[in-house]
Amino acid sequence: MIRNLNIILIFTSMLMLAGVYTIKFAIENTASERTALIVQIDSQQGDLSLLKADEAVLNQPGHIEPIIRRHVAALAIAPVRQEQFGSFVDLPMRPVKPNMAAMDSLFTALDAGIDPIDAILELEGIE
Amino acid sequence: MAVTADGHGPTIALDGARKVRGNLTHARIRWMILALVLGFGVIGVRLVQLGMVETDSSIEGQARDIITATRPPILDRNGLEMAVDIRVPSLYAEPRRIIDVEEAVRKLRTVLPDLSEDWLRQRLTGDQGFVWVQRELSPAIEEKVMRLGIPGIDFITESKRFYPGMTEASHVLGSTNIDNQGIAGIERHMDGEDVALLQDLGLARGNALTPVKLSVDMRVQHVMHEQLLDAIQRYSAIAAAGVMVDIYTGEVIALVSLPDFDPNVPASALVKDSFNRVTAGIFEPGSIFKTITMAAALDSGAVKITDQFDARFGVRFGRYTIDDFHGKHRILSLPEVYKYSSNVGIIHVMQALGKERFRAFLNTIGFDQRVPFELPEMRLPSIPKTFSDVGAATASFGHGLSVSPLHIVTAYAALVNGGNFIEPTLYKRDVADAQALYRRVIKPETSAEIRYLMRLNALEGSGSQMNKEALGYRVGGKTGTAEKVVDGRYSSNKVTNFFGSAFPLDNPRYAMIIMVDEPKAENAQSGTTAGWNAGTVSGRVIQRVAPMLGIAPDFAKVLDENLVPSVLR
């Protein structure tokens, strides 16, 4: 009986040995994958930091101004002057009610076949 | 079988077979135990030995973590990056692992020809575990060196500080050395705070650090930098500086000092001539000091805005007579004293106040100590402890004492914001936080009178050059032309010019000081006094930055009329 038990134990231990080695190699594989990923992440973070720095340079007012200066003539732009600022207060108020008389005369003219826009187009030389 | 003989004659003792076998088994077990104990003992000793070995993780005396530690990015008030970390490879060698030094030297020099052969050979020979070969290289070079396949040569990724704004905010940011420690400016201040602690703990790694937001607006900073560069060229000046603060929060919106340096080249940060003139330079402020004298006198009640002063004759102190530059030589009202920048008038104003009370006011407004500010580059102002009669007289128009432009701008901010002194800061701060720090230095009514005087000077006095440039932005200011001392005498052709301003004065938000050092006349029609250079520079800066700061131009006369105190209307 003891002999049988020993045989069973020997086989079990060999099986477990095989199992342990399988696990060991699997872990080593995972670890090397992990290391490779860490290296990759690291290098990508490095690239990212360079790209971010590039972006920051491109966003600097000190970088943009010379570009604008180069294109002043081509784009016909100039720094804004104080007189160019307006505000909503400066806009004329909407008329209290529509100008009925003017509308009536416009519609009668249109009915009569005269379109006032034709006169303006003719004046501008547009057919 | 075992035979034992004792002393009583030959006796034969015979053990049974079972006993003999039992003894043998006992002996075997003992030997086995001994073998096992020895075996495990050896393993145990080896384990302890391995445990005792200290892996050398330091790099030339510094912990590896500190070398690879990152610093938080620095952003301006709108979130634009002013300083970022980039990862760069650094080349190092482990000399004890290098097999063939000659080969390594030869191969390395094919990629890095700048390295001296002897230096490299000496560097790679020996038994050290770690030596730097060259730090902060490019990824392309890393690739090439790795292809050489030299054993014992490897790279480590370091963090390097990069300043995308180049020279523009150099004095605000300062710089960092190759080990990523701040050596000047806000970088150094940050190290003094908590970054150093984080780095020591090895926590400051990765991108986990919260960005530091500064109060600086890079757009305004850029405009000021550009205009000051232009001023140096236009007026052939030797230096220029400027600082703008938010008068309610004390936030510094822009701070420029020229000549400056490139923070990306740390060595240039410590060149003597590129010191921060705003914080670490002290100058005789000249007539911009009259605003402070006026505020002191008006606030004490010793003079009133309706008072008149006799400026017909110079003021005599023993052998000296102090007279006006382009004087009017008549009786001047108080606003006229300010408008014509009359030295005689301001001496009378100061004398009405009394020199002790005048000196005490200078203390109140913080002129006896460094401005409490983040930058490490600060200097103590130099003001006599007590004033003699003549000393107080010259001090009333800004001579015989030296303060930094930051002192003046802090004082101006307090004088126009309703009379509350607020320490300037480079970090973001909101009005509620600032109000807790307010210290009242003058009454709100006096502040209103100062706003009127400053606007008056821009409309009719020495600030009109400035006002022409910044029309519509309700700027007020005071010029200051301080003669420099050359060989122990005041020289009239070497001057330091200041312009102190605040805008928009109907609802003031910002105060600014512009300094131009030793300007020449731009052309034959112009002069060298402050209105011509520091004044126009201020005007040009405000003309460009006011829209960025959300200030719309308004040409309504009524805004200026509202500034006039009711007693003068």
B384-396 pLDDT, tens digit each: 999 988 899 999 9
pLDDT score, position B153: 87
- Mark whether B265 and B350 lie in a shared domain: yes
Answer yes or no: is pLDDT of B202 > 50.
no
Residue B420 domain-assigned?
yes
Tell whether A40 lies on the interface with B, counting CB pairs under 8 A: no
Distance from CA of B139 to the nearest CA of A (A): 9
pLDDT score, position B230: 93
Tell whether A79 lies on the interface with B, counting CB pairs under 8 A: yes
What pLDDT band is residue A5 in, cutting at 50, 70 and 90?
very high
Contact A62 B87 (CB under 8 A): no
Considering only CB atoms, A60 lies closest to which of B88, B218, B555, namely B218
Any idea where the domains of chain A sit in the sequence? 1-82, 97-127
pLDDT in tens, A8-40: 999 999 999 999 999 999 999 999 999 999 889
Amino acid at B538: S
Percent of chain A past pLDDT 70, that is, above it, reads 98
- Judging contacts by C-beta atoms under 8 Å, the chain A residues touching residue B552 are 85, 87
- Mark whether B108 and B180 lie in a shared domain: yes
Answer yes or no: is pLDDT of B208 > 70.
no
Q: Count interface pairs A-B at CB distance under 8 A.
A: 67
- Mark whether B346 and B460 lie in a shared domain: yes
Considering only CB atoms, B81 lies closest to which of A56, A62, A80, namely A56
Residue B71 domain-assigned?
yes
Question: H or E segment at B416?
Answer: helix B405-416
Residue B56 domain-assigned?
no
Least confident range from B64-68, B100-104, B542-546: namely B64-68
- Mark whether B480 and B534 lie in a shared domain: yes
Considering only CA atoms, which of B291, B285, B261, B262 is closest in space to residue B274?
Answer: B261
Which chain B residue has the Cα nearest residue A57? B164
Q: What is the mean pLDDT of residues B187-191?
A: 84
- Mark whether B227 and B180 lie in a shared domain: no
pLDDT score, position B292: 93
Q: What is the mean pLDDT of residues B32-42?
A: 97
Considering only CB atoms, A62 lies closest to which of B88, B222, B552, namely B222
pLDDT in tens, B319-329: 888 888 777 88
Please identify, among B155, B182, B212, the residue that sits at the C-terminal boundary of a domain: B212
Contact B165 A42 (CB under 8 A): no
pLDDT score, position A58: 92
The whole domain housing B32 covers 1-47
B/e letters for B95-131, b = 16+ CB within 10 Å, e = fewer, are beebeebeebbebbeebeeebeeeebeebbeeeeebe
Considering only CB atoms, A82 lies closest to which of B86, B222, B472, namely B472
Selected residue with higher pLDDT from B336 and B159: B336
Residue B365, phi then psi, degrees to nearest 5 = -85, 10
- Mark whether B265 and B142 lie in a shared domain: no
What pLDDT band is residue B87 in, cutting at 50, 70 and 90?
confident
Least confident range from B67-71, B236-240, B253-257, B505-509: namely B67-71
- Mark whether B108 and B182 lie in a shared domain: yes
B/e letters for B155-170, b = 16+ CB within 10 Å, e = fewer, are bebbbbbbbbbbbbbb
- Mark whether B376 and B521 lie in a shared domain: yes
Yes or no: say if B293 and B396 are a contact pair by the CB < 8 Å rule.
Answer: yes
Contact B207 A45 (CB under 8 A): yes
pLDDT in tens, B212-223: 889 999 999 999
B55 DSSP assignment: P
- Judging contacts by C-beta atoms under 8 Å, the chain A residues touching residue B162 are 53
- Mark whether B304 and B447 lie in a shared domain: yes
Yes or no: say if A82 and B472 are a contact pair by the CB < 8 Å rule.
Answer: yes
Which chain B residue has the Cα nearest residue A60? B165
Considering only CB atoms, B471 lies closest to which of A42, A56, A82, namely A82
Whole-number Å distance between alpha carbons of B353 and B462: 25
pLDDT score, position B20: 85
Question: Quick one: tokens of A3?
Answer: 């002999």
Which chain A residue has the Cα nearest residue B169? A62
Q: What is the mean pLDDT of residues B425-453?
A: 92
pLDDT score, position B244: 95
**3-class SS at B517?**
strand
Q: What is the mean pLDDT of residues B175-203?
A: 72
Answer yes or no: is pLDDT of B526 > 90.
no
Tell whether A42 lies on the interface with B, counting CB pairs under 8 A: yes
Strands B212-213 and B74-75: parallel
Would you call A82 exposed, middle or buried from its count of C-beta atoms within 10 A (0-12, 13-18, 19+)? Answer: middle
Answer yes or no: is pLDDT of B105 > 50.
yes
Percent of chain A past pLDDT 90, that is, above it, reads 40
pLDDT score, position B395: 92
Distance from CA of A91 to the nearest CA of B (A): 15
pLDDT score, position B63: 56
Distance from CA of A76 to the nearest CA of B (A): 19
What pLDDT band is residue B9 in, cutting at 50, 70 and 90?
low
Yes or no: say if B521 and B266 are a contact pair by the CB < 8 Å rule.
Answer: no
- Tally the domains of chain B: 3
Q: What is the mean pLDDT of residues A88-113?
A: 84
Whole-number Å distance between alpha carbons of A61 and B515: 23
Please identify, among B157, B182, B212, the residue that sits at the C-terminal boundary of a domain: B212
Selected residue with higher pLDDT from B129 and B196: B129
B384 DSSP assignment: -
What pLDDT band is residue B19 in, cutting at 50, 70 and 90?
confident
Percent of chain B past pLDDT 70, that is, above it, reads 93
Tell whether A87 lies on the interface with B, counting CB pairs under 8 A: yes
Answer yes or no: is pLDDT of B5 > 50.
no
Answer yes or no: is pLDDT of B10 > 80.
no
CATH number for position B132: 3.90.1310.10
pLDDT in tens, B310-321: 888 888 888 888
Which chain B residue has the Cα nearest residue A48? B86
Distance from CA of A67 to the nearest CA of B (A): 14
Residue B66 domain-assigned?
yes
Answer yes or no: is pLDDT of B361 > 90.
yes
Contact B553 A61 (CB under 8 A): no
Yes or no: say if B516 and B283 are a contact pair by the CB < 8 Å rule.
Answer: no
* Mean pLDDT score of chain A: 88
Name every residue whose Cβ is closer than 8 Å to that of residue B400 and which is 6 or more positions away in sequence.
Answer: B284, B384, B391, B394
pLDDT score, position B45: 96
What pLDDT band is residue B8 in, cutting at 50, 70 and 90?
low
Q: What is the mean pLDDT of residues B366-379?
A: 88
Tell whether A68 lies on the interface with B, counting CB pairs under 8 A: no
pLDDT in tens, B340-356: 988 999 999 999 999 89
- Mark whether B225 and B208 lie in a shared domain: no
What pLDDT band is residue B206 in, cutting at 50, 70 and 90?
very low
Contact B86 A50 (CB under 8 A): yes
Q: What is the mean pLDDT of residues B458-473?
A: 87
Q: Which of B71, B80, B162 to mutate to test the interface with A (most CBs of A within 10 A)?
A: B162
Considering only CA atoms, which of B254, B284, B258 is closest in space to residue B271?
Answer: B258
Whole-number Å distance between alpha carbons of B253 and B236: 27
Answer yes or no: is pLDDT of B38 > 90.
yes
- Judging contacts by C-beta atoms under 8 Å, the chain B residues touching residue A83 are 553
Whole-number Å distance between alpha carbons of A44 and A47: 5
* Mean pLDDT score of chain B: 86
